[in-house]
Amino acid sequence: MTNNIRGILLKVMAVTIFTFMMAIIKATAGEVPTGQQVFYRAFFSILVVIGWLAARGDLPGALRTSNISGHIWRGLAGAVAMSLRFFAIGVLTFSEVTALGFTTPLVLTILAAVILGETVRVFRLITVTLGFFGVLIVLWPTINFSDERSIFELIGAVAILASAALAALAHIFVRRLVVTENTAQIVFYYSLMVTILSLLSLPFGWVVPTFEASLMLIGAGLIGGVGQIFLTAAYRNAPASVVAPFDYSSMLLALGIGYFWFGEIPNWWTIIGATVIILSGIVILWREQWLGRQSNLEQIPH
């Protein structure tokens, strides 16, 4: 098995795990507040991560860092992004949250230009604009201020878009962290920071969940940790340009879970809008891969 194929399989497994994890979060959203869900997700995930690091012999090395401020900023962005996404999954349909979550690469393109000073060409700007047009298509049914439910759904949509933006910002922080930190340090401190930050929501009404909900949330944290390891391994085995497009495989899985688990039937606005967003993201990835090949060719002596 080649490294690329192994990386793709690991990425598909990670995407599948994270999609089921989000389904568990949605199933417990009516009983457990968002901040408490984030705590379960992060705390039990860190147990898996610590076990993984110990098995690799990265402890106590993963605890040593020369860039604690970088980990704090990445953890803060990640914790708020996760909180907003968990809130949104309790308000919107499963397929809507999944579709709108695909805007992260689009926002990342903009942030890379603003924060990192990367060049954004006209072609990519047009593609990003098309992607956000897809967002409007998904949101169209919720743009209705005539009833309270529609307003609440619109708030949920804004939350998932803000989550996607913060996830993109977290990617920027990771790009800076990799200069001084290894993968083990980044994964460990992310899990630790989100666990600590989630405790800030404790005064805002944590509850004693039912036994069933507790098991589900513990399971969400444990499989979330496994998914994180698979995701890290995927990018270690294959280039990002090879495995990144497989993020979009979660859309089909989300449609199936939404229908069979939650009885949700996606409307055509969601399906069409998701298609536009996905195509925009794939075009951006393809364009970056093509530009990378062209740059390599230009560096070859003629």
Domain ranges of the chain: 3-299
- pLDDT, tens digit (0-9, with 9 covering 90-100), for 213-233: 999 999 999 999 898 888 877
More confident residue, 27 or 273: 27
Residues 7-36 pLDDT 10s: 888 888 988 999 999 999 999 998 999 999
Looking at residue 60, its pLDDT comes to 80
Distance CA 39, CA 56 (A): 25
pLDDT in tens, 237-258: 777 667 777 777 788 888 899 9
Please list, in sequence order, all residues whose beta carbon lies within 8 angstroms of the beta carbon of residue 254, skipping any fewer than 6 positions away. 19, 94, 95, 97, 98
pLDDT tens by residue, 64-90: 888 889 899 999 999 999 999 999 999
What is the pLDDT at residue 297?
Answer: 42
d(CA 142, CA 151): 7
| Assessment of whether the complete model's pTM goes beyond 0.75 | yes
